[in-house]
Amino acid sequence: DADVTQTPRNRITKTGKRIMLECSQTKGHDRMYWYRQDPGLGLRLIYYSFDVKDINKGEISDGYSVSRQAQAKFSLSLESAIPNQTALYFCATSDSGTGGYTFGSGTRLTVV
Amino acid sequence: QKEVEQNSGPLSVPEGAIASLNCTYSDRGSQSFFWYRQYSGKSPELIMFIYSNGDKEDGRFTAQLNKASQYVSLLIRDSQPSDSATYLCAVRSGGSYIPTFGRGTSLIVHP
pLDDT digit string (tens) for B37-71?
Answer: 999 999 999 999 999 888 999 999 999 999 999 99
Nearest 5 degrees, angle CA A105-CA B104-CA B57? 90
Is A87 exposed, middle or buried (CB count within 10 Å of its CB: 0-12, 13-18, 19+)?
Answer: buried
The model's confidence at residue B95, banded by pLDDT at 50, 70 and 90, is confident
| CA-based nearest distance A42→chain B, Å | 4
| Chain B residue whose CA is closest to A106 | B43
**Mean pLDDT along residues A80-96:** 95
Interface of A with B in 9-28 (CB under 8 A): none
**Mean pLDDT along residues A64-82:** 97
| CA-based nearest distance B41→chain A, Å | 9
- Cα B100 to Cα B23, B74, B90: the distances in Å are 12, 17, 5
| Chain A residue whose CA is closest to B102 | A42
| CA-based nearest distance A10→chain B, Å | 12
| CA-based nearest distance A77→chain B, Å | 20
The model's confidence at residue A88, banded by pLDDT at 50, 70 and 90, is very high
The model's confidence at residue A41, banded by pLDDT at 50, 70 and 90, is confident
Which range (A53-57, A97-101, A105-109, B37-41) has the least confidence? Answer: A97-101
Interface of A with B in 29-48 (CB under 8 A): 31, 40-43, 45, 48
Residue pair B102/B3 in contact (Cβ under 8 Å)? The answer is no
The model's confidence at residue A1, banded by pLDDT at 50, 70 and 90, is low
CA B88, CA B104: separation in Å to the nearest integer?
A: 4
Q: Is B42 on the interface with A (CB under 8 A)?
A: yes
Average pLDDT across chain A, whole number: 95
Interface test with chain B among A57, A101, A107, by most B beta carbons within 10 Å: A101
- Report the candidate in B4, B99, B7, B44 with the shortest Cα–Cα distance to residue A59: B99
Interface of A with B in 39-98 (CB under 8 A): 40-43, 45, 48, 50, 58, 90, 98
